[in-house]
Homo-oligomer: A and B are copies of this chain.
């Protein structure tokens, strides 16, 4: 069933049928004939033919590092909601934390397939920047700030400061659990926020209070163990993500350390798990789903010809809970 057959059945030319679906420049009479035939046959124009002809696919490529995470899936949920409403499909590219794959997908998407791209990235290597510059379609960067590109990101620096303040209070020996490279937003920015709070409070930073931990509960648990071995005097722990903080919490509780009396802990991200443990994890809430929606909207604007470079920094909400002392002693 194609446009020719519909045209024949409706006694019009195929151009008229096409117009029926597009500009709508059709007389009431023929409009009705066509409508009837379409209803009877259940005809739908071939998306592929339309794509070829119009050079528009109505598909948006979304590149993500990993799907099994509250933050990413929240963002995707927001993106999908917004795109659906605008009549776009979501083409998902999962890189499984392989940076090279991000570049690969950027190229693949650019050459074909999609009208726009949303990149939920972690770090921007020279290869990334080259691929981004070579892009033929609009792109929005989500979760990171990137000069010269439209982007939507969390206020990682300020959020980390707030989280650090909760944890710090009257503590003398704070520690940091996370990474400081390979991820600009959750790495460098959060660490910077943490350090600045220390400075505010006049606490000198000794780098042996930093312990590297990937962003999972297990890694946080292990890292806490290594940290404690070096510094059992620690009285506050900052987890760069809730997962890390929860891993640390687990380790400390298993070792009979009282939370928050002996050690205070705070995280970033406000995950479901953090609200389930006892005591509940002090954290900072990000609006992941909304940021996904914002990114999608930004992309739609871009595709409508708006200039690139608009930046949206999302707000956050501090959630002080049981793992930090409510009042300074």
Contact = CB atoms under 8 A, between A and B. Distances in A.
Interface of A: 44, 46-49, 51-52, 55, 57, 59, 66-70, 73-74, 76-77, 80-81, 84, 89-94, 96, 111-113, 217, 246, 250, 253, 272-273, 275-278
A67 B76 contact: yes
Contacts of A57: 48
A124 B113 CA distance: 33
Given A47-B112, A68-B74, A90-B94, 11 more contacts: A59-B91, A67-B73, A73-B73, A76-B94, A80-B92, A81-B94, A89-B113, A90-B93, A217-B272, A276-B277, A277-B278
A93 B52 CA distance: 23
B273 A276 contact: yes
Nearest to A42: B111
B52 A48 contact: yes
A90 B57 CA distance: 15
Contacts of A68: 70, 73-74, 77
Given A92-B80, A276-B276, A48 B112 contact: yes
A227 B84 CA distance: 40
A150 to B, nearest CB: 22
26 contacts: A44-B112, A46-B52, A48-B48, A48-B51, A48-B52, A49-B52, A51-B52, A52-B52, A67-B77, A68-B74, A68-B77, A76-B92, A77-B94, A77-B96, A80-B92, A80-B94, A89-B92, A89-B113, A92-B92, A217-B272, A246-B276, A253-B278, A273-B273, A273-B276, A277-B277, A277-B278
Contacts of A275: 217
A89 B112 CA distance: 13
Nearest to A112: B47
A-B CB proximity, top 3 nearest: A48-B51, A47-B112, A80-B94
A84 B80 contact: no
Contacts of A66: 77
Contacts of A94: 76-77, 80-81, 84, 90
Nearest to A134: B42
Contacts of A80: 67, 92, 94
A59 to B, nearest CB: 7
Nearest to A76: B67
Given A73-B67, A277-B277, A47 B90 contact: no
A6 to B, nearest CB: 14
A93 B79 CA distance: 11
B67 A81 contact: no
A186 to B, nearest CB: 18
Contacts of A253: 278
Given A67-B76, A278-B277, A81 B96 contact: yes
A84 B64 CA distance: 14
Nearest to A66: B77
